[in-house]
Structure 1
């Protein structure tokens, strides 16, 4: 299999990169490769013990900081301290995410937990770090989408999924919201004449620890489903390539979307992925942006 690989990553020395959810899975691979190429990498993680353990396995300049994306007060505190310590940030990879099965759960702020973690927390974090990103010059924001965004629908009258909740649908909605956010961010950055670029990526079907954890509460049946799911997935090192390309390829224009090329974008070499019609809709972007501002209290662009 040919195509773009981690060996194509250019020299990252002198760059500061922030990767959310960097203690495992796609985030750990992304942080490891960025550090290997010389970047100073901030591992933004909810569990700092797991983050420190991950950092010990990374050869390079890394630091671990606590970030709970499902708690807006924690997001604000993280962003304030990070901006003070790193007034110029070259790369923000909005990688962290949750996949939950079972009953509906809410965040510290009362938001449906998929939406809170996967999209609203990253919306707030990006806005709070925008000055530091702008100070770095041609900085980049990478938002992690999913192929599930293609079949998902947003109900702006019920963003929190209080009516007829289904966990799998809630996850898809959160990833559609993340994708809409990344594209709308690109529109607004361009309109403002900003040097910051917003791009997106998705990993196809990749073996991470999210799905097995999501099925844990289902006992033996759940573990069987998780094992069967692993057979259809690609290794995490390959699944991370779309976001690494989005993060590091020189000259990538805003709005570009990377993903696997084969079998319905589930695996294979990195190529340009296809946005769903709903994700590309400017009206949906404007509406979601307004809702996110109201929910998070973070306003920018």
Structure 2
């Protein structure tokens, strides 16, 4: 069976093993060749494979980020997890420590103390928010979920004094007329607000992989991208099926047209890729989904 990966704009089941290659498939047209693999970004440890900190069982150490509401003594507590679709809401939450006290001090990561992702289970939309922190440890972010359904709230942060960051996830329930959206097929190239973004490179579960996303407009390469969150591009990957979270940043320093990323997929399956980039003072988002053949043979994951 063909194990090539197909690229779509926006589930596939998970394979229990981690050694299966997840290749970005051959789409109509030719995408840019992937650069030589570079070292993995070290700013977000714990998103791919965890490390034993003494407070969690070893069996949970390898889980991707965002699957647990509590991890390593920290808990994500959403104040009002029930909202109405289409209505503005002030999303409020706290990070609690092992004693149930709100955390009030954080390390800055990529220009922010906390990154917040809100996405529905069908991955049809994506919000990357930067909430504000009150003195009592309550975070708040004005938002509105566009449609009814079950959403995942993902908080990516590093407490003050911690040696590594973590990502916690909690459910958000939006009342209304529920109409889940399937993943539509495209190729390696998508458009975002008049820009064309092309994805090159392959993902390999359990192994460092390099991706290049190339930005152009009106047929010409964009070579003057502006920094966003301290880099020329920001990539978030969510695994379809459970919304496991992988947060990576570029390993290139030039302002376009290509933005290179090094990342590791925790397993085979489908991944929704969201690229945020800034040009002419506005942040745009380009979205892809990479899907592998669920019936391909897999190798045992080795720790």
TM-score by length of 1: 0.31
**Which structure would you say has the larger Rg?**
2
The structure that is strand-richer by fraction is 2
Q: Which has the higher contact order (CA 8 A, sep 6+)?
A: 2
